[in-house]
Amino acid sequence: MKWHIKWNHLPFSKLKLMACKGMIPERLCKVSKNHIPICASCIYGKATRKPWRNKTNHKHIHPEKSPGEYISVDTFESATKGLIGQIKGNLMHARYTAATVFVDHYYNLSYVLMQRDQTSEELMKSKMSFENYAKAHGVQVRNYHADNSRFADNAFINDMKHKNQGMTYCGVKAHHQNGKAEKRIRDLQDHARILIMQAYHKWPEAISPHLWPYAVRVANETRNYTPCTTSGMIPIAAFSGTDEIPKISHLHTLVAQHTYW
C-alpha cells in the first residue's frame, strides 16, 4: 500500500510488473493476490454505473507502424475552474477550464496541455506544444485523428496543410471512432479524482478541487513513466527510441510524502 500511494495510486498489477523489472523492490513480485490490499480511494474514485449492454468490438481504424504516424486528439472541459500556477507577480483571475489530450497510437504515450478556454488560439498553442515535445524526442507527427469540433477550424486545418500533415475525422455521433483519446481522457479523469480525494483526506487545509490540472498532469506523467501491463513497454522510453528505464524517483505524489506516513 505504501508503494501504491507513493506512485500515485498505480494499479497493483502494474506495481508487480515494475517489481519484476527492478524498478521497485523485487520482493513485491512474490505478493499473492490474497495479500494485495484494497485501496478505498481507488474504489470510490473509479466507481461508475454498470453498463446495461456491451459494445461490440470495433475494427481498428488506423493501424500504425511507427510513433507519430497517427495521433488521436480530443479536448475535455471542466466545470471546476483550475488554478494557474504563479511564482511571481500579482495573482491573476484567469483559470484553466479545459485541456487537450494527444495520444500516440503506436506506443500509447499521451500528452496533456491545459487551456484557459476552447478557442482556436488556445488549441493551436496545444498543437504546437505537443509537436515540439515530439520533436524533442525525435518523433515527427504525420497524421491526426479527431472529431468534428474545434479540430475542423480553419486555423487547425491550415497549420496541418502548411506542415504536410494528414487529418481524419470521426463520423457524426461516432465518438467510439476516437476511442483512444476518449478512453485516455476517462482514465486520466478517474486517476486525477483519486489523487485529489487522497490528498484532500490527508491535507484538507491546502487541497482543493481547483488543483485538478496538476492532478491530471501527475496522472499522465505516472502513466508515461511506468510499464504498460499488456505489452510491458514503458511509453516514454519506447517513444524516445531508447532501452533505458526512466528513473521513477523523479515522480512525486500530489502531496508531500510526509503527509502520508
Question: How far from the centroid of its chain's Cα atoms is residue 178's Cα?
Answer: 15
pLDDT score, position 63: 64
Q: Hey, what's the torsion of the CAs at 190, 196, 200, 203, to 10 degrees?
A: 140
Residue with cell 517489481: 19
Tell me the sheet residues that pair with 145: 72, 168
Residue 260 has a pLDDT of 37
Question: What is the reported pLDDT for 100?
Answer: 95
| Alpha-carbon span 218 to 209, nearest angstrom | 15
Separation of alpha carbons 44 and 190, rounded Å:
10
| Residue 248: predicted pLDDT | 79
pLDDT at residue number 257 = 43
Residue 249: its pLDDT value, please? 77
Please report the pLDDT score of residue 61 as a whole number: 60
Give the pLDDT confidence score for residue 78 in this predicted structure: 92
Per-residue pLDDT 10s for the chain (261 aa) are: 888 888 889 888 888 888 888 888 888 888 887 888 888 888 888 888 777 776 656 555 666 778 889 999 999 999 999 999 888 888 888 999 999 999 998 888 999 999 999 999 999 999 999 999 999 999 999 999 998 888 988 999 999 999 999 999 888 777 778 888 999 999 999 999 999 998 888 888 889 999 999 999 999 999 999 988 877 888 998 898 888 888 777 777 776 544 433
Among the residues of the chain, which ranges form H helices? 2-6, 12-20, 40-45, 120-136, 154-162, 179-202, 212-224, 235-240
> Would you state the pLDDT for residue 243?
82
Mind giving me the DSSP string for 193-224?
A: HHHHHHHHHH-TTT--GGGHHHHHHHHHHHHH
- The residues facing 98 across adjacent strands are 77, 115
Domain boundaries for CATH 3.30.420.10 within the chain: 66-85+92-248
**CATH of the domain spanning 66-85+92-248:** 3.30.420.10
pTM, two decimals, is 0.86
What span, in angstroms and rounded, lies between the C-alpha atoms of 127 and 66?
Answer: 20
Per-residue confidence (pLDDT) for residue 59, from 0 to 100: 58
